[in-house]
Structure 1
Amino acid sequence: MKIGWDLVTRKEYFLSSWKSDDDPSEGEYFLRIVTKGYPQFFTFKGSKKIFRGGSWNGVGFSGYPTHQLSQYRQRFLMNDKQVFLECDILDKSIVSIYKLRASGLGQTYAWTNQSNTRNVISTGVQDECERFALCGANSVCILDGNLPTCECLKGYVPKFPEQWNISYWSNGCVARNVKSDCVNGSSSDGFWKYTEMKLPDTSFSWFNEILSLEDCRNKCLENCSCTSYSNLYVLDGGSGCLLWFDDMVDMRRFTQGGQDLYIRVPASELDNGRRKKMMLIIGITVGGIIFGLTCACALILRKRGVARFIYRKHYESILKKEEIYLPTFDFSVIVKATQNFSSCNKLGEGGFGPVYKGTLTNGQELAVKRLSKNSGQGLEEFKNEVVLIAKLQHRNLVKLLGCCIEEEDIMLIYEYMPNKSLDNFIFDETRRHLLEWPKRFNIICGIARGLLYLHQDSRLRIIHRDLKTSNILLDANLDPKISDFGLARTLLGDQIEANTTKVAGTYGYMPPEYAVRGHFSTKSDVFSYGVIVLEIVSGKKIREFSDPEQCHNLLGYAWRLWSEGRQLELLDEALGERFTPSEATKCIQVGLLCVQQRPEDRPNMSSVVLMLNGEKLLPNPKVPAFYIERDTIPELDALLENCMSRNEVSITVLEAR
């Protein structure tokens, strides 16, 4: 089948999804070629663009690195009569079908002559950077581990810095307040080269198949509205010309397989860049000398065994002082188990550092949490993690198996959770369908039991302080286990609350009394739990959802539906009609009770467990805290502008007011 346009008859050939997995009528997702500007293909949800495959570069589309296209032969036909994409499989022993699923994700099925088994070889969108215009205009999306990060292009700055600082990027970047001298096609402007790029949206572009790259550069300089240029095609060193005008949208940087893009910047920006480059060279030279001397000293210490002794004794003293027996793993064993910390074994990354999957020679699987050199966490968080979780035993808490200390390398070894974290399921367009209602309800109840143990039944009264979906791990049966106790605090005796001048946690999950005044208690975790419950029920992220009708976040949206008696409309559409209404209503009500403004209005976890498992009439919730979108809360905005972390990485150094 072709995808594209017959320009003579104006007939379009496109791909549409089913309405649902069981209903083959036309759904709301479409895969189509858009001919405005230089043609490119998009995935639409109704009329809204949600993914852009990019423009044709002679080998494939710029939205897909060329190394991913080796199993297909693609042809893009473009003339005054037609614009079509055709695709053939090079291996004729394979039969393949590409399907646009009801969820909007593409999926490729394949059969071979040797087997009648159907294999899924592609599942469409793979990461957050593939969301159309995630970073807004004049900004590049870069994947840092599993998390997206947006960076303004050279010569541009965030349009709204206060939003940018809390990872709200959709308003993008604007040109720095530096005047260009471009007049009547004469300019001293230059260009900054970006490599391995997904080229910007070509809807407002001009192209020529003949011009060389140098001619393309000159063509851009002649037009004061031209903002960037690139080769049209990548074969044989590149050919053709593609120009962009005004804002550049929907760019990302690949690790390999992308294209070169040249961004127009004023001459002063280039001079500044050269000065910075020179300073960098000088800094590297001086730093190299210092580093060499440092390494020489460190080598002497290492030969004498001093460094290893100091670090090992430093951490072993913690274990001895706290009367903890924790098995230690040899560094060489962990290196072998993780294949030398291979990126293929990397499970994710948090505030402590990266986490790797490891497999011992006996087949036992491990999760290795390695302290990053750039981490803001260290001795205090290591102590917390070891002291607290080593003394805890509960089916809904992750199990700490041991540690590994090798000079400055510090690692904690946990049981391996094959299904990773909860956020990888409930916020993923494919995996969320695997979380049917009984599983979701089981996860909600399991987290509650784990928190009850921390707050009441363990030998210590523990406040987690960083409870969120990414810190809830799922085992092979999708049972939840609370993890990451690096920021946890203990309360002594009958103490139920405390204050701190160092607020730690993640925006969206922090209650108001803690975010603003540094006041924490068991009710702080209750608030975080309530947010998680509403996320599990709805499949929506607290930090990304916005009520389409009013200026409400997820909490406000849930409250509005509840007060209007339409609470079941909050449920994740992936559930369809497959849920128990009474249980779903109960969970929404419990979630709203847990996110009340005043701590005293929130239930404790023993009450939550009873509510979830009993049949008693529950109290009615009040208006939740932080129910309006963050941009409309002046006091919180002032705090966030100065202190809040990017993405969903835990905050460890906020000063409370």
Structure 2
Amino acid sequence: MDHILTIRYNPTQTDDCDTYAFCGANGNCNIASYPKCVCLKGFVPKYPIDWGFGDWSNGCVRRTKLDCRGGDEFLKNTQVKLPDTRLSWFNESMNLQECEQTCLGNCSCMAYSNLDIRGQGSGCLLWFGDLMDIRQFNENGQDIYVRMAASEVGGSSSGNTGARKRTGIIVSIVLSVVFLLVITVIYMKYKKAGKVLAFSRQSHSEDLELPLFDLTTIVNATNNFSDDNKLGEGGFGAVYKGVLKNGQEIAVKRLSESSRQGQVEFKNEVVYITKLQHRNLVKILGCCIEQDEMMLIYEFLPNRSLDCFIFDQEKGVSLDWPMRFTIINGIASGLLYLHRDSRLRIIHRDLKAENILLDNERNAKISDFGLARSFGGNESEASTKRVVGTFGYMSPEYAINGFYSVKSDVFSFGVLVLEIVSGKRNRGFNHPDNRLSLLGYAWTLLRDQKFMELIDPSIASTFNPVEVLRSIHVALLCVQNNPHDRPEMSSVVTMLSSESTLPQPKQPGFFDETSVSEASSSSNSKHNNYSANEVTISQLLPR
């Protein structure tokens, strides 16, 4: 007669291993080891990145798929607390050999063991499905025989350990020890540095997959991070050009130990940009997390970033007005995708010239999602206790009060457009005849119909007056002081491409040098020594 068995383990939790499924499916918890979780023999972490950072909740998967018809075998795991028995079957009269044959004859059977918990070798207990809630004991544990592909065991198998080939045992032990040592080194190093990070379960429920590059490949590709290959450096760390063995050029963003950005930003970049697909967003190819290194691997864009052109008089000539207008429209299209058309509804929060990369044809690619935040449901804005980003592109409500929304990105876009048109940075702009900011100066020129004075001399011979005027006008609508007055990016895209009459922009935020200084002072005092790229604590607000 068939039986269903339910065994409940001691409900009193005394340590982490007493937490149900602490190591996930097919994981083994050992409170006396570091890390506490290892995969069962023949299994590997389902998400290696998470596992390396101490999030074991997603468990392990088989290294080699089962082949029921081709002949699976069993691998013995000793001195363990047996798995959860909710998906199990037992028979009191079978011996262990009969139990093995019964399990082997059922392709859904994943493991078997003695039913008699006193270890006298009587009774049969079978498991179907993933093995959950296993714990390692040094003594008073039981043996469980886990179904494996024959190649993992290395030969014919039975309930008797002596029937296994010695080579199979050696291979299993060596692989397990090596894997345990690697994970232990990674875990302890990042734990000591205070850098243990767990990627969210939600990201994996949405099938987040990112190729992993090994460190040797990246070291070879970048000539051991040679200064000759260095493309630049920012808050995250240095960026290097690399060439893979197949000839593909890559850009390697390497997190430095002294970086003001950290694992939260690293996670953001991985989680967000891997889910975003748009021609005006930079493409990520993978990441490398090995030893004490954390790196993101991107497509290589030979023309680097926008600031290299628009703020350089010599290089600025090569970026004529048609190219600049295309870049403006490309950035607008990318932001519209982030705000409305992507499934995540993302606010970038650090849109600036340095984060706009240019491809071979000098098309705009929005990059650096380390500070990005996503909204869902009815959420439309949020507040933060610490302002992050780059002052000069921040909207007034964000820099002063910590409130951000899609309109914060709209403000940054407006600033960026005025910089593209004028060739001047907003931050540090100083007009010789007045104390106006770049935004105030542009607004005054448009009001007085003198917008031509704003145009970068580098594009004097190539600009289209109608396109330039419309770009300035739209930009000033985007930087209006009140966020409710600013247009959505959908309207911005339409206004840039149409000939419709535009409303008159109200006075912009940070109109003059005084307001900029006051906002900077307020940001510093309110948010405790403002620093770009600080980790934030956010509170979502309903629409």
**Common topology (TM > 0.5):** yes
SS of structure 2 residue aligned to 1:442: helix
**Contact preservation (8 Å) 1:503, 1:655:** no
Q: 1:547 to 1:640 in 2, by over 3 A?
A: farther
Q: How does 1:275-354 map to 2 (within 5 A)?
A: 306-308=184-186, 318=200, 320=204, 323-354=207-238
Q: Distance in 2 between matches of 1:565 and 1:326?
A: 51
Q: 1:535 to 1:389 in 2, by over 3 A?
A: same
Q: Which of 449, 455, 461 is residue 577 of structure 1 equivalent to?
A: 461
Q: How does 1:432-511 map to 2 (within 5 A)?
A: 432-511=316-395
Q: Which of 307, 310, 316 is residue 426 of structure 1 equivalent to?
A: 310
Segment of structure 1 superposing worse, 489-498 or 467-476:
489-498
Alpha-carbon deviation of 1:654?
7.9
Decide which structure has greater strand share.
Answer: 1
Q: Distance in 1 between matches of 2:226 and 2:293?
A: 16
Q: Which of 361, 369, 385 is residue 245 of structure 2 equivalent to?
A: 361
Aligned residue pairs: how many?
Answer: 356
In structure 2, the partner of 1:650 is: 532
Q: Distance in 2 between matches of 1:642 and 1:465?
A: 19
SS of structure 2 residue aligned to 1:503: coil
**Contact preservation (8 Å) 1:350, 1:650:** no
Superimposed CA distance per residue, residues 592-647 of structure 1 (whole angstroms, 9 cap, x where no aligned partner): 0000000011000000000001111111111110021157743543434786989x
Amino acid at match of 1:497: E
**Contact preservation (8 Å) 1:538, 1:572:** yes
Alpha-carbon deviation of 1:525?
0.1
In structure 1, the partner of 2:292 is: 408
**Contact preservation (8 Å) 1:322, 1:387:** no
Q: Which of 397, 401, 405 is residue 521 of structure 1 equivalent to?
A: 405
**Contact preservation (8 Å) 1:504, 1:654:** yes
Q: Distance in 2 between matches of 1:568 and 1:635?
A: 29
1:610 and 2:494 matched: yes
1:619 and 2:503 matched: yes
Q: Distance in 1 between matches of 2:411 and 2:477?
A: 9
Q: How does 1:109-148 map to 2 (within 5 A)?
A: none
Q: Distance in 1 between matches of 2:352 and 2:224?
A: 30
Amino acid at match of 1:527: F
Higher relative contact order (CA 8 A, sep 6+): 2
Q: 1:645 to 1:428 in 2, by over 3 A?
A: farther
In structure 2, the partner of 1:54 is: none
Segment of structure 1 superposing worse, 409-418 or 632-641:
632-641
Q: 1:479 to 1:328 in 2, by over 3 A?
A: same
In structure 1, the partner of 2:39 is: none
Superimposed CA distance per residue, residues 334-363 of structure 1 (whole angstroms, 9 cap, x where no aligned partner): 000000011111111111111111111111
Amino acid at match of 1:430: E
**Contact preservation (8 Å) 1:551, 1:628:** yes
Amino acid at match of 2:403: H
SS of structure 2 residue aligned to 1:434: coil
In structure 2, the partner of 1:543 is: 427
Alpha-carbon deviation of 1:548?
1.6
Q: Distance in 1 between matches of 2:198 and 2:444?
A: 53
**Contact preservation (8 Å) 1:595, 1:625:** yes
Aligned residues: CA RMSD: 2.7
Normalized against structure 1, the TM-score is what?
0.51
Q: 1:569 to 1:346 in 2, by over 3 A?
A: same
Q: Distance in 2 between matches of 1:626 and 1:654?
A: 24
Alpha-carbon deviation of 1:302?
10
In structure 2, the partner of 1:417 is: 301
Q: Which of structures 1 and 2 has the bigger CA Rg?
A: 2
In structure 2, the partner of 1:530 is: 414
Amino acid at match of 1:555: L
Q: 1:410 to 1:552 in 2, by over 3 A?
A: same
Q: 1:533 to 1:460 in 2, by over 3 A?
A: same
Normalized against structure 2, the TM-score is what?
0.62
Q: Distance in 2 between matches of 1:494 and 1:439?
A: 38
Q: Structure 2: which 5+ runs fail to align?
A: 1-177, 539-543
How many percent identity over aligned positions?
A: 55
SS of structure 2 residue aligned to 1:430: helix
Q: Distance in 1 between matches of 2:516 and 2:266?
A: 37
Q: Distance in 2 between matches of 1:448 and 1:547?
A: 28
Amino acid at match of 1:542: N
